[in-house]
A and B are shown apart, each in its own frame.
Chain A
Amino acid sequence: MAICTVYTTHSLKSTSSVSTPTKTHLGFHQRQVIFYSTSKKTDRRGSSEISCSAGEAKTVVIGLAADSGCGKSTFMRRLTSVFGGAAEPPKGGNPDSNTLISDTTTVICLDDYHSLDRTGRKKNGVTALDPRANNFDLMYEQVKSLKDGIAVEKPIYNHVSGLLDPPELIQPPKILVIEGLHPMFDPRVRDLLDFSIYLDISDEVKFAWKIQRDMAERGHSLESIKASIEARKPDFDAYIDPQKQYADAVIEVLPTQLIPDDNEGKVLRVRLIMKEGVKYFSPVYLFDEGSTISWIPCGRKLTCSYPGIKFFYGPDAYFGNEVSVLEMDGPFDRLDELIYVESHLSNISTKFYGEVTQQMLKHADFPGSNNGTGLFQTITGLKIRDLYEQIVASKTSAPLEATKA
């Protein structure tokens, strides 16, 4: 919320009405100060000063990095669902807009900051992964503006035509999610993020997922899918992958270790790597915080079919940072397994018992709902809600303490 203070240095004669902040259709506050003064402007000294502390209207900014076809949109749908309300494209705008808006959350796709359109990239022989194809100055300016509560006119990159369409107006939301290939690439943008997530899909799983996605498509063959992954790999390794060292949470998706030589990509080993010491974020743990634990929940209390489920939890180092790792290998067969698992996890930031299970049930048809990807994405969503609530609470309590003093 914008805190504006008006100092009127003199004159009881002047009737000044200060209208702050203006309510937008999003129910959020825009920093806009309209100052009316009905007194004759003869007395120069009778001026009024308005000071707005920009820091108070702040939007919480979350960054999500992942390659295309790695489940960003599924994660986004799970995340917005945690905050309630359906996320929809802006009403009445460009039908090819990449933006999703719900009551609390606005998700913008960073492809909209491409500086080169499809023909431009072809002409220059660069991919969308290349920093030269992206306008980081504009990305920084607009994310900064939104964070400070100012609406922006953001371009739209049309994925079907490959062209940059006329811009759309984005209002500052409570929570802004920037998702795409480079949310943590530019240090200025990275510093604006309150929390960052990297979806790290191993090459084997990426290949299996793209086969599932594309094989039915006319023209695609195993060769063309493989060639597309290979061609993009050098740029991916150079510009996208290094961003994971800056992420507060990394979700790693790997082939299972429960079935020897499995390469179907159906049974997955998923690791949630959580950075320690991040403000407003306390990592999830299994049984005992800081211990190293391997847990197979299948047994007398829980029947699992082949290949079963295996959990791992423990401290580790990741790019020189201290992290906690929670790992799940294997699929869920039935829901009672999930509630049993949920009841043994701590620090999951749920508001009631069974909330993780309930969230997963809501979207049982999403990809990853029967394995660790869905579980860890849901938990990350709850951690973000918790982080958001703590940030808001600390912001509102700070000015209150100041007035008390």
Chain B
Amino acid sequence: MLLVLFFTSCLGSGKTGAQRSIVIEYLNFVIMLLVAVGIGVLAVIVSAILGPKKATRAKLMAYESGNDPEGGGVGTGQRFPVHFYLVAMLFIVFDIETAFFYPLAVAYQKLIPFAFFEALTFVLLLLVGYVYVLKKRVLEWA
């Protein structure tokens, strides 16, 4: 509903042709998304109707190499290595770097040679952090 409102307001009068065509491309994108998700939903529903439903207690147990499951389950607070957390944090930092780099890359040819030193400074600053991470052995999974 919100989407419909958004697009009708964007397509309203007083917009130039270029703006309209951009909005229309995003509308096409939403159509594609809806079709793709719709196929997934349809497959799940059809399978739920057609498949047999003879669940037993043993069938519904979680897999644990033939033993009775021990602990487990959603939200029971299983512990896992902190490395995953560190990698996720590093990813956020470097992904922001990538996000900053994209506009620079697209507009680069209009900004040279000044932009080269900008980019170099930025990369060097990040390299300091990267070397620190390496020295702290964050990326060693031993």
The reply to whether chain A is a binding partner of chain B is no
